[in-house]
Amino acid sequence: MGPALDPRFLDWILAEDLGAGDATTDAVVPADATTVADVVAKADGVLCGIDVFEPLLRRLDPAGRVEVRVRDGATVAPGQRLATIRGRARAVLSTERTALNVARHLSGVATLTAAFVAAVAGLPTTVHDTRKTLPGWRELEKYAVRCGGGRNHRMRLDDAAMVKENHLLTGLGRTGPAAIVEAVARLRRARPTGLPIYVEVEDRAELEAVLPLGVDVVMLDNFALDDLRRAVAYVRSRPGPHPRLEATGGITLATVRAIAETGVDRVSVGALTHSAPALDLSVRHRAEPDRGA
């Protein structure tokens, strides 16, 4: 899959499920039994995370193999075989749920992202995620966003400087246009080169204050549609290079098209990672294993 799967992550998620061992499987399934099983889609969506099955399986069965039939980023349909698993039956049974949980979640993120991207099709607006990810899962969830056709916002706090209201309140004791100007000045003194600068604004006065500062992205937070249109027109009417304009705050599938039509360059959507429903996938064992089909 996209980012390298951290062995520590794989060990951790498997140990969480196994505990002291798979009580049912170890009692019922002979140690030398083998099986063939298929990973199958049960709903329409975008696949992500299929490559987690083999490294998890091989932790319990070093000779186990997974033949991937459909790659991450592909659109899948109910009944479609995505991968075929071959190995010791105990190892397959004891790892399949952990692998499914990862793939179902990541495929859900990719599927929701693809829906947002489709909603703005034909417009130049791009769809971005946020840092609203599960701790420990960020690289995987942001990879899933890319599989769905979206783009990543900053990965970590050191990737870019982002001035928001809480920074102004805690650092300067006030908000508003003058506070934004001071915060950006402090940033440039502390980091004279390098980091991109994002600034969140909440009204026209803050937008007008930030434009002469030469920041990279201006985030228009919870602007109404008419205010977004006026903000875009105002920025584009000014001479010289313009910051990228990003709409943010409570954007949904129902509203994203209208927001994109205002002319903003990008939208950021926390729901891509924090609220994506899992895609329904399952593992089906074969009563009579095939011969490599």
pLDDT in tens, the chain (293 residues): 578 899 999 999 999 999 999 999 999 999 999 999 999 999 999 999 999 999 999 999 999 999 999 999 999 999 999 999 999 999 999 999 999 999 999 999 999 999 999 999 999 999 999 999 999 999 999 999 999 999 999 999 999 999 999 999 999 999 999 999 999 999 999 987 789 999 999 999 999 999 999 999 999 999 999 999 999 999 999 988 899 999 999 999 999 999 999 999 999 999 999 999 999 999 999 976 554 44
164 labelled catalytic: yes
* Residue from 26, 44, 71, 97 carrying the catalytic annotation: 97
142 labelled catalytic: no
DSSP per-residue codes, 224-284: -HHHHHHHHHHHHHSSS---EEEEESS--TTTHHHHHTTT-SEEE-THHHHSPPPP-EEEE
* Residue from 132, 204, 229, 257 carrying the catalytic annotation: 132
97 labelled catalytic: yes
Domains 7-116+277-285 and 122-274 share a fold: no
Is 7-116+277-285 assigned to CATH 2.40.30.20?
A: no
* Residue from 164, 186, 204, 229 carrying the catalytic annotation: 164
* Residue from 61, 72, 221, 246 carrying the catalytic annotation: 221
pLDDT, residue 288, reads 60
Domain boundaries, the chain: 7-116+277-285, 122-274
pLDDT, residue 191, reads 83
CATH top-level class of 122-274: alpha beta
42 labelled catalytic: no
* Residue from 22, 139, 200, 206 carrying the catalytic annotation: 200
Q: Note whether 90 and 25 are within 8 A (CB).
A: yes
